[in-house]
Structure 1
Amino acid sequence: MTDTATLAASPLELASRLIACESVTPATGAVFGCLESMLDPLGFDVTRFVCGEAPDGPVENLHAIRRPLGDAGRHFAFAGHLDVVPPGKGWASDPFEPVVRGDLLHGRGAVDMKGSIASFVAAVAEIPRETGTISLIITGDEEGPAVYGTRALIDLMQTQDTVPDLCLVGEPTSVSRLGDMVKIGRRGSVNMWIRVAGQQGHVAYPHLADNPIPKLVAILAEIEQMVLDNGTDWFQPSNIEITDLAVGNPAHNVIPAGAEARISIRFNDLHSGSSLIELISGIAGAMGGSVEAKISGEAFLTPPGELSSMIADAIRAETGLETELSTTGGTSDARFLSRICPVVEFGLCNATMHKLDEAVAIADLDTLARIYRRVVLGALVGTS
């Protein structure tokens, strides 16, 4: 049965419905039911599942796919997330009550990224089923550890043989105006904890102790002076930042038994997470330290080509802007999806994401829906 109200809904209406569902990461429940109710009347087969346990779960995920009745043709996917960061205190109104003030829609997730999801659903509502295969890859775990989210969805798609040919991630990539920036890659991220063990003792008898702090300082000094690279055609130089230094020694007359520091490395595609762990482990090990590490994501690049050209053409047609192809910023779930197909990120202006009174221009929601419609048609039938 077709729900004509859903088919006729504007991006503003759809975004408001999603914002009204509280979904602080990791998200489950009502917000997924809300999205499913939008997709079901459009002919999508929706699969929802929950996986993982605390502290990184449980997480709900949604995969929706609509195939034409005949030849499936090409498969275009949109990926995004329904979870949001905690709103914090100080909002002008309830962060989970969508409010229109002037030409802006306010609410947590308006930009990052319930607004983009709403615009894509509105775009798909205007695309006939026979055009080709369209899917949505939606997680509730992008803003958190991302352990049980998109990676679990990829496993599902590979099992069901529903891996897309092309994928657009709706992250808020625009900076000053909608369409001024598209992300064709992201740097990788790895965090490392460097620990040096010593021997506790009295500061007046240093020969009976082993102070770990000078060793840790020496390790950090060597790391700090390193130049990993000078960047590439598409990536800025990789950088190492010391983000924490701790001893935990409340006494002024005690040499501590241990010291540790944390570093964070954002790296381009000249490196891998494992190669950087090996590099830092070698430096620390030579001075008596040890390293524990966690790779948040590897660097990836979708070289300029068909997908980025289609998006740039659609942006130009709707806004007149010449978009910038970029790899700046933090990580996103595109780092996982890039393993299975070409992926590019494009979405709303990011000025208010994660901030108090997060807001999106209502006109941008409508324009984004038109851009997404052009991109999908270009991907599936070669026209926009």
Structure 2
Amino acid sequence: MPIDPVQLTADLVRCPSVTPEEGGALVLLEGLLRGAGFECHRIDRNGVPNLFARWGARGAAKTFGFNGHTDVVPVGDEAAWTHPPFGAEISDGFLWGRGATDMKSGVAAFTAAAIDFVTETPPDGAVILTITGDEEGAGRDGTLALLDWMEANGEAMSHCLVGEPTCPERMGEMMKIGRRGSITLYLEAQGVQGHAAYPHRAKNPLHALVSLLGQMTAQPLDAGTAHFDASTLQIVTIDCGNPATNVIPAKARATVNIRFNDLHSGASLSDWAKGLIAGVETETGVTFTLRADISGESFLTPPGMLVDLVADAVEAETGLRPELSTSGGTSDARFVKNHCPVVEFGLVGQTMHSVDERVAVDQIGPLKAIYTRVLQAYFA
């Protein structure tokens, strides 16, 4: 009997898998996959739960992979929810609960599609599912751990589809063929504390920091490229911890996040920041320390076989030819792209991470159908 992706979504939502808790979600999926003949391995690293599952022979010439996550963000104020966040209640045409959109519906759809496909029409090749419990967290022990284990054990995907929500408003309108990179700059300015009435006896780190931030935001980083929007820089916090109005503080800190396109790299943006810092240090006498955290580089999967195959499947089921986009935040595709070509397609993501997160029930079945079409076309 075919697997009902709506029921599987509900079963997964009932698992309270707030990062890094497994919550029973991967146990549920492993049981289903083993029962369908998939070889399964739990790849847990540093307390983070992950699941690898393969149907077919290791090292098959054609191996299609799906990637997704079962961990979810915290529910916030539970009293503000219309329905219990882990109740998976169906009401008004929606399945309600944390992770319903991001992305237990996507995991349910590709798991159901993969199991039914290999059961009904066993392909000449292999199907791999990599499912992590650390996408919403730091990400260092999730999909990265799976990929490290695969490399060490001779496992490989030829191509991969990540089931993250990709559609802004209508099912089928957008797929991701790349992502912008992300770098966070942690800045600390070290000055000399003093009396606010005698500034000549002090060095105000806030003035230097404000000057630096002004230079960083004075001009756009770029105007965008063929497949990417313009890079963006946002100051996300400024702090000096000074409660007094008559004291010039000794230190001031700021954090800046940059989402960058393929004109830049994490290293080039770090060097750019260092150049600006050197000028402000010379001008003010205040010294800076910089720590850069690169959570992902920009990447692009150029239009071609994989992109066309997924776009064709989406259009066949929805009647919409998806826009090829690189917008939005980061995803685990930033790790998969170092392993094999990867694209992303999933449901409408309007309510992800919000109170009353929910997924339209009538979208889950078509999503499974799209993933099934992808598998059928790939192994045809």
Provide TM-score, normalisation by structure 2: 0.94
Q: Over residues 108-160 of structure 1, what are the superposed CA-to-partner deviations in whole Å (9 max), with x where a residue is unaligned?
A: 11111110111112212321333420010111000111111111111011112
Matches of residues 147-226 of structure 1 in structure 2 within 5 Å?
Answer: 147-226=140-219
The separation in 2 between residues aligned to 1:125 and 1:204, in whole angstroms, is 73
AA aligned to 1:24 is V
Q: How far does residue 226 in structure 1 lie from its aligned partner after superposition?
A: 3.1
Corresponding residue of 2:103: 113
Q: How far does residue 29 in structure 1 lie from its aligned partner after superposition?
A: 4.9
AA aligned to 1:67 is G
AA aligned to 1:234 is H
Matched-pair contact (CA < 8 Å) for 2:161–2:342? yes
The separation in 1 between residues aligned to 2:61 and 2:300, in whole angstroms, is 26
AA aligned to 2:159 is L
AA aligned to 2:25 is V
The separation in 2 between residues aligned to 1:347 and 1:131, in whole angstroms, is 26
Q: How far does residue 220 in structure 1 lie from its aligned partner after superposition?
A: 1.2
The separation in 2 between residues aligned to 1:125 and 1:224, in whole angstroms, is 50
Q: How far does residue 230 in structure 1 lie from its aligned partner after superposition?
A: 1.3
Change (3 A) 1:102 1:222: closer
Q: Over residues 37-62 of structure 1, what are the superposed CA-to-partner deviations in whole Å (9 max), with x where a residue is unaligned?
A: 1111111011003211xxxxx21011
The correspondence for 1:239, drawn from 214, 232, 235, is 232
Corresponding residue of 1:85: 73
AA aligned to 1:8 is P
Corresponding residue of 2:367: 368
The separation in 1 between residues aligned to 2:123 and 2:331, in whole angstroms, is 31
Matched-pair contact (CA < 8 Å) for 1:27–1:82? no
Q: Over residues 289-311 of structure 1, what are the superposed CA-to-partner deviations in whole Å (9 max), with x where a residue is unaligned?
A: 22111111110100111111011
Matches of residues 37-56 of structure 1 in structure 2 within 5 Å?
Answer: 37-52=31-46
AA aligned to 1:142 is E
Larger mean CA deviation between 315-324 and 182-191 belongs to 315-324
Corresponding residue of 1:22: 16
Corresponding residue of 1:13: 7
Secondary structure at the counterpart of residue 161 of structure 1: coil
Corresponding residue of 2:267: 274
Secondary structure at the counterpart of residue 123 of structure 2: helix
Matched-pair contact (CA < 8 Å) for 1:194–1:284? no
The separation in 1 between residues aligned to 2:308 and 2:333, in whole angstroms, is 18
Q: Over residues 145-200 of structure 1, what are the superposed CA-to-partner deviations in whole Å (9 max), with x where a residue is unaligned?
A: 11111111110111122110100000000122211100001100001012111111
- Number of aligned residues: 369
Corresponding residue of 1:322: 321
Larger mean CA deviation between 326-335 and 21-30 belongs to 21-30
Secondary structure at the counterpart of residue 322 of structure 1: coil
Q: How far does residue 207 in structure 1 lie from its aligned partner after superposition?
A: 2.6
The correspondence for 1:101, drawn from 64, 83, 91, is 91
Matched-pair contact (CA < 8 Å) for 2:3–2:116? no
AA aligned to 1:65 is R
AA aligned to 1:367 is P
Provide TM-score, normalisation by structure 1: 0.93
Secondary structure at the counterpart of residue 77 of structure 1: strand
Q: Percent identity?
A: 47
The separation in 1 between residues aligned to 2:55 and 2:91, in whole angstroms, is 36
Q: Over residues 71-112 of structure 1, what are the superposed CA-to-partner deviations in whole Å (9 max), with x where a residue is unaligned?
A: 934000000000001112211121111111132111111111
Dislocated runs of 4+, deviation >4 Å: none
Q: How far does residue 353 in structure 1 lie from its aligned partner after superposition?
A: 0.9
Q: How far does residue 237 in structure 1 lie from its aligned partner after superposition?
A: 0.9
The separation in 1 between residues aligned to 2:318 and 2:220, in whole angstroms, is 40
The separation in 2 between residues aligned to 1:99 and 1:86, in whole angstroms, is 18
The separation in 2 between residues aligned to 1:13 and 1:145, in whole angstroms, is 30
Which runs of 5 or more structure 1 residues have no equivalent in the other structure? 1-6, 53-57
Matched-pair contact (CA < 8 Å) for 2:2–2:116? no
Matched-pair contact (CA < 8 Å) for 2:183–2:293? yes
Larger mean CA deviation between 100-109 and 187-196 belongs to 100-109
Matched-pair contact (CA < 8 Å) for 2:309–2:377? yes
AA aligned to 1:141 is D
